[in-house]
């Protein structure tokens, strides 16, 4: 089993010297472009904002839809005290039905990757691109508890941030601290994207219900049963779910036909640092499916 490595450089401009951005506003979904239907799913405590640059690049050849998850910033209410991958996928399926998309290409980051796997199991995915996906652990297990405790430890910081409101969202120091977890090179992430990431983390009513639900959730089924063409993108500097621990199941269980690519020089949410590279890696997988060629 081998993993290839992506070493090309991001073309996104450094954010140093940029002007102070206005306070970001919640959005229910990004919906841009025309062509092959492409669903983009964000991570836990994030929002569609993290896809904006990548979606713009992909929209030249794809009809891109990037919704906010229920219970997340811009998303619908969860409708109950418990939130899990299944309920998030239910709502996404409803949105796909509203669009008239029986199937579509899917790319998901972190939690979005885990939901993408669930959608693929339901027969909704033409191709599946997993970007630093969550769920690479057995349950119950110490690894499962470790990642949930990591998010539980953020609750006091989130509560403090809520009380400080817009000051935190627009504060360069607070943005830099947040980006330490999400990126490798905070300096290349725009102030606007950093502010949106902070705002999403501070406006996520599903935070505690999802953490508690994840502690009780069973492990996902064996990944070798996936029949959808899969491309796995792992971030070299993932500080949220480091590859050496949390990527093992994906590397071991995904079918041999799946692409396994290490994206160099990026953190857990690589779309913030390298939108060109991530757009290209998604697009390659989408285009290869047209002729049933494996993207390498």
Q: pLDDT-based confidence at 179, cuts 50/70/90?
A: very high
- Phi then psi dihedrals of residue 74, to 5 deg: 95, -15
For residue 79, the model assigns a pLDDT of 75
Given 42, 49, 105, 268, the catalytic residue: 268
Tokens of 147: 């990642």
CA gap 170, 2 in Å, rounded: 42
CA gap 28, 156 in Å, rounded: 27
CA gap 23, 25 in Å, rounded: 7
Kindly state the helix (H) or strand (E) to which residue 196 belongs, with its residue range. helix 191-202
Report CA-CA distances (Å) from 77 to 70, 96, 205, 206. Answer: 6, 18, 8, 9
Q: Residues 40-67: pLDDT tens digits?
A: 999 999 999 999 999 999 999 999 999 9
Given 10, 110, 190, 235, the catalytic residue: 110
Is 268 one of the catalytic residues? yes
pLDDT at 103 over 90: yes
Given 190, 238, 259, 285, the catalytic residue: 238
- DSSP secondary structure letter of residue 184: S
Is 221 one of the catalytic residues? no
**This prediction's pTM:** 0.91
Is 222 one of the catalytic residues? no
Q: Residues 70-83: pLDDT tens digits?
A: 999 999 998 777 78
Q: Residues 107-146: pLDDT tens digits?
A: 999 999 999 999 999 999 999 999 999 999 988 888 888 9
Percent of the chain past pLDDT 90, that is, above it, reads: 78
CB-count exposure of residue 40 (10 Å: 0-12, 13-18, 19+)? buried
């Amino acid at each position: 089993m081998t993993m290839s490595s992506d070493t090309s450089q991001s073309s996104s401009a450094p954010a140093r010297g940029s002007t102070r951005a206005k306070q970001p506003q919640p959005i229910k979904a990004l919906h841009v472009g025309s062509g092959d239907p492409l669903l983009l799913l964000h991570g836990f405590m994030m929002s569609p904002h993290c896809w904006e640059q990548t979606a713009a690049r992909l929209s030249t050849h794809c009809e891109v839809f990037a919704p906010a998850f229920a219970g997340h910033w811009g998303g619908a209410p969860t409708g109950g005290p418990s939130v899990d991958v299944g309920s998030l996928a239910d709502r996404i399926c409803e949105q796909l039905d509203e669009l008239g998309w029986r199937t579509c290409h899917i790319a998901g980051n972190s939690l979005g990757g885990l939901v993408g796997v669930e959608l693929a199991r339901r027969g909704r995915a033409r191709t599946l691109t997993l970007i630093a996906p969550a769920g690479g652990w057995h349950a119950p297990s110490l690894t499962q508890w470790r990642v949930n405790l990591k998010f539980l430890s953020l609750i006091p910081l989130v509560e403090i941030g809520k009380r400080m409101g817009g000051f935190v969202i627009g504060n360069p120091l607070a943005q830099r601290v947040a980006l330490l977890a999400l990126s490798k090179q905070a300096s290349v992430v725009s102030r606007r994207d950093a502010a949106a990431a902070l705002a999403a983390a501070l406006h996520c009513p599903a935070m505690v219900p999802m953490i508690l639900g994840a502690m009780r959730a069973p492990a996902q089924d064996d990944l070798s049963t996936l029949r959808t063409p899969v491309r796995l993108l792992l971030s070299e500097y993932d500080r949220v779910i480091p590859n050496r621990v949390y990527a093992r199941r994906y590397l071991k269980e995904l079918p041999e036909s799946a692409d396994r690519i290490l994206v160099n020089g990026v953190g857990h949410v690589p779309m913030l640092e390298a939108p060109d590279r991530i757009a290209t890696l998604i697009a390659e997988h989408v285009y290869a499916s047209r002729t049933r060629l494996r993207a390498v």
